[in-house]
A and B are shown apart, each in its own frame.
Chain A
C-alpha cells in the first residue's frame, strides 16, 4: 500500500494527524475509519444520497467525493461537532419530536443539510426547503416528517408558535 506523507485535518476545530493513509482515501473514509468520527455515513459513495454530508470551509459537501488529502488546511465540520457540549441543536431536537427519524441512516446528513440551509436562508419557502434537501435521500420517511421538522425550526427561530 503506497503511503502518503503525514497530513493533518482540522475537524470540528481539532487538528488530527492522519498517518500511513493511502492517498486515495476519501474524506468520508478517513473521518470514519481513521479519525473515529462515524457520524457521516456512506450509502452510495457516488455523491447521490447525501448521507455523508459534512461542511468544508462552510460549504456543504458529499465527503465521499472529497479526497481527504485535499482537505488539508480546511475547516471541516461534521455532525459530531454540532453539539460538543452534549446538548441537541434545535434541528436535532425537531427531528426527534416531529418523527423525522426512523432507521436514522440518512439523519446525520440531513441534520447537516438543514443546518446549512437555515444558516444561509432564515425563512426558506417550501420549495426552497425541498430543493435544498433534494440531495439527501431518505428511504424510510417519505420526507413528510422531515419537512415538519424543518418547519418547526423555522417557526421557532422566527419566534412563531408552532
Chain B
C-alpha cells in the first residue's frame, strides 16, 4: 500500500504521532521512568512450585535487613482477597495453597531494588508439594481432585447447528496443537502508587489496558470506595492483551498505603513472564465434511483451552474459539464442543486474537486437507466457500458486517510472488541465517494460505461503551478520555476525528485517567470503533452547539451550516467564517458515551447473536525451508485486509506489519515451554522473538468498504493481521516439505524428524 500525506491531519490522512518526538528523544515517560520524592521500591515473592500447600512463612530474617520498610501477605489485604476480570477467583496473595509457579505470596517495600531482592531471598517459606494437574484432559475427565474451590472446569460450551448427521464424500480430520505464546511487550509491568494524606485513598500511575476495570478490582481488594482509588495511565510499552488483568496494581497500592510513602513496582523480564497471563495453549480436533467439489457440508470440532490456574478471561476466549470454528466460510451444519479448563499451568487470558488464533490454525489446516481431497488448490477451496455479508454463522447469527472474503483472497492472490531464491545467496537470506548454516542446495520453497474472520468488540451481552469529552475554546480543542494508549495510536486518531468534525487544527489530548467515564479496554480491536465513536459523538455535539452559536450571531438557521475545511459555511447563503474566528471567547464542552448495539448470550446449543461485528483478512506466505536442519525463513507475506476505512493508513500499516511479526513468532519461534507446571524459558534468551533478520517482506493491500454500523466506517485493525498469518506460514512449510505438521510453533524436530 502507498501512503500519501495531505495538508491537514484529518481522517484518512497519515497523521503522525503526537508523542513521536518525545519517544525518539527518550523523553517520553514510560511508567518505569516515573519517580517520586521519598519513593520506595516494591517487589513480589513468588512460588517456585506449581502446586503446593504453604506450611509456614518466616519473615524474621527479612525484617532484619536495613532498608526494608514493610512486608505484606494475604493477611494484609483489607478487602476482597481475590480478583479477576470475569470471576474473582485469583488471590491477591496465596494464603494456604499456591496453584501455579510464580503465584505471589508476599510483597516487600524497601529503599533499593537490591534490598528488595535480598529481603525476598531471606523470607523462608515451607511448602508441602501437591500433585500437579498439568494435563487439560484430566481436568475435563473429573478424575482428579479439584485444585480450586470453583472446580477444574472453567466453562463448557456446545454449538449444535443444522443437520448434525449430514456428511459428504470428502471427510478430513486433524488434531492441532497451538503453543503457549507470550505477549512479550517490551515495557514490563510497572506502577507508581501515592498514598493519600489521610491514608484512605491512593493514586496509582500504571501501564494498563483498562483504567476503570483496574480501579474497580483494586477498590474491591483494598476495601476502598472507587473514588478513593484514582488511576492515571503511565506510559505503556506495548500490551497485546497482557495488561488486561491485574498484575502489580493491588500490591503497589497496598505497599504505598502501608508505608505511607510512594512505592514503585516494576517487573524484570523473568518476573514479567510469571506476572501476566499468556495466550491459551489449545488442542483442537476438527472433522470437516464436504461435497466432491470441496464445498463444506458439516464441521465437527472439539476445543480444549488450557486456562491455567485462574479463570482470567478463559470463558470469553473459549466462546471466541468455538464461535469461529467455521472460519470465514459458509457452513450450516456443525457440532462443536469447547472446554476451558483449570490446571496448575500458568494462567492464560487475553492475547491479540483471543481464541480465534487457535480456531483459525485448525480450520485453515482443514481447508487445505479438503482442497487436497477434492483435487483443487488452496485458493479455490477458499473461494468456493467464502462467506458474504448476510450469511449465517453456526451460532445462527447473521453476518451483517461487510464481508469481502472473496475479494480479499483474489486481491492477495494477485500480489506478485517473490523472486526465486538465487543460486548464490548471502547466508543471511537462508533459513537459520548466520547462526546455523543451511546449504543453498537443500532449500525448498513453499506457499501457504490463511484466511480469517475475527469478531471485534466484546460479546455475550456485555454493555461495552466508551466515554469522551470534547471542549472547544478559542479555536482549540481538548479531548478527554480514559482510553489506554498502548502504542496503537489512539492519541493520533482522536485529534484527527476532532479536526474532521470541527474544522480545527489545534487539538490536544488531556491526561488519560479515571477523571471521566470508562473507555473500556484497549483490546478486541475495539477502540477505533468505540472510543473513536465516543470522540466523534462528543465532537458532533460540540459542532451542533457551535452552529447554534454562529447561527444566532449571524442570523442564519444553524441547519444550513456545515464545516468546510477550517471554515463554517452557509450552504445556501454567503456566510463563511473560520472556526478559529467564530470560537474566540467561546467555550463549548460536551460529553458522549458510545454504546455498540446489544449482543446476546449463547444458549445451551450455542445459538445467539453473541458478537457485534466481524473483520476479515487473507494471508499468503512464502517460506524457504531447510528440511535437513529443520529451519525456516519466512520470505514474503502477502495480505489483504478488510479495514472498513483506513482512518490513518500509516497506523494501519503499522498494525498489519506488527501483527504479522507476532503471528510469525507463533508459527515458527515463540512458545513458553511448561513441563509439569514449571516454566522452562522465562527469558528473552530462551523465549525467541522475531528480530529484524526474521522480518519477512510484507506486501499489504487494504479493502476499504466502509461498514455502515461503524461510527467512522472503520473496523478495528489490530487483531486480524496476527490471526491467519500463522496457519499460512505453517501451510507453506507443509507445502515445502510435503509433511503434515499439526502444531505451532513449528520446531526443527517437527520438520526433520
In this assembly, does B706 line the interface, its C-beta being within 8 Å of a C-beta of chain A?
Answer: no
Contact B24 A103 (CB under 8 A): no
- B654-678 interface (Cβ within 8 A of A): 654, 656-662
Closest A residue to B648 by beta carbon equals A99
Contact B487 A131 (CB under 8 A): no
Contacts of B657 in A (CB 8 A): 141-145
Q: How far is the CB of A18 from chain B (nearest CB, A)?
A: 14
Contacts of A49 in B (CB 8 A): 186, 684
- B146-202 interface (Cβ within 8 A of A): 183-188
Contact A142 B186 (CB under 8 A): no
Proximity bits, B711-734, A CB within 8 Å = 1, else 0: 000000000000000000000000
Contact A103 B428 (CB under 8 A): no
Please pick, from B24, B268, B660, the residue contacting A45 in the complex, using a CB distance under 8 A.
B268
Complex Cα distance, B22 from A83, in Å, reads: 12
Contact B692 A136 (CB under 8 A): yes
Complex Cα distance, B18 from A96, in Å, reads: 9
Complex Cα distance, B21 from A33, in Å, reads: 23
Complex Cα distance, B492 from A160, in Å, reads: 30
How many of chain B's residues have a CB under 8 angstroms from any CB in A? 67
Proximity bits, B96-127, A CB within 8 Å = 1, else 0: 00000000000000001111000000000000
Contact B26 A40 (CB under 8 A): yes
Complex Cα distance, B691 from A44, in Å, reads: 15
Q: How far is the CB of B378 from chain A (nearest CB, A)?
A: 24
Contacts of B16 in A (CB 8 A): 96-97, 99
Contact A104 B692 (CB under 8 A): no
Stretch at the interface among A66-74, A105-113, A151-159: A105-113
Secondary structure at chain A's binding surface: helix, strand, loop or mixed? loop
Contact A103 B236 (CB under 8 A): yes
Contacts of A135 in B (CB 8 A): 691
Q: How far is the CB of A29 from chain B (nearest CB, A)?
A: 8
Contact B684 A140 (CB under 8 A): no
Please pick, from B14, B26, B66, B186, the residue contacting A39 in the complex, using a CB distance under 8 A.
B26
- A36-54 interface (Cβ within 8 A of B): 38-46, 48-49, 51
Closest A residue to B485 by beta carbon equals A103
| Max chain B C-beta neighbours (<10 A), residue from A135, A138, A144, A147 | A144
Contact A104 B237 (CB under 8 A): yes
In this assembly, does A14 line the interface, its C-beta being within 8 Å of a C-beta of chain B?
Answer: no
Contacts of A136 in B (CB 8 A): 691-692
Proximity bits, A60-95, B CB within 8 Å = 1, else 0: 000000000000000000111011000010011101
Q: How far is the CB of A24 from chain B (nearest CB, A)?
A: 7
Complex Cα distance, B207 from A43, in Å, reads: 14
Q: How far is the CB of B720 from chain A (nearest CB, A)?
A: 14
In this assembly, does B142 line the interface, its C-beta being within 8 Å of a C-beta of chain A?
Answer: no
Complex Cα distance, B323 from A69, in Å, reads: 58
On whether A88 and B187 interact (CB within 8 A), knowing A102-B487, A136-B692, the answer reads: no
Please pick, from A38, A92, A95, A139, the residue contacting B238 in the complex, using a CB distance under 8 A.
A139
In this assembly, does A146 line the interface, its C-beta being within 8 Å of a C-beta of chain B?
Answer: yes
Contact A102 B24 (CB under 8 A): no
Other than the given A97-B16, A136-B691, A139-B183, 17 more pairs (CB < 8 A) read A1-B112, A24-B114, A41-B237, A48-B683, A79-B25, A82-B25, A92-B24, A93-B24, A96-B21, A102-B487, A103-B185, A105-B185, A105-B186, A133-B691, A137-B186, A140-B487, A142-B698
User: Which residues in B have some Cβ–Cβ distance to A below 8 Å?
Assistant: 3, 14, 16-17, 19-30, 32-33, 35, 66-67, 112-115, 183-188, 235-238, 240, 268-269, 426, 428-429, 434, 486-489, 650-651, 653-654, 656-662, 683-685, 689-693, 695, 698
User: Which residues in A have some Cβ–Cβ distance to B below 8 Å?
Assistant: 1, 22, 24, 29, 32-33, 38-46, 48-49, 51, 78-80, 82-83, 88, 91-93, 95-97, 99, 101-108, 111, 127, 129-131, 133-147
What are the 5 tightest A-B residue pairs by CB atom distance, in nearest-first order? A39-B26, A103-B487, A104-B23, A105-B237, A142-B661
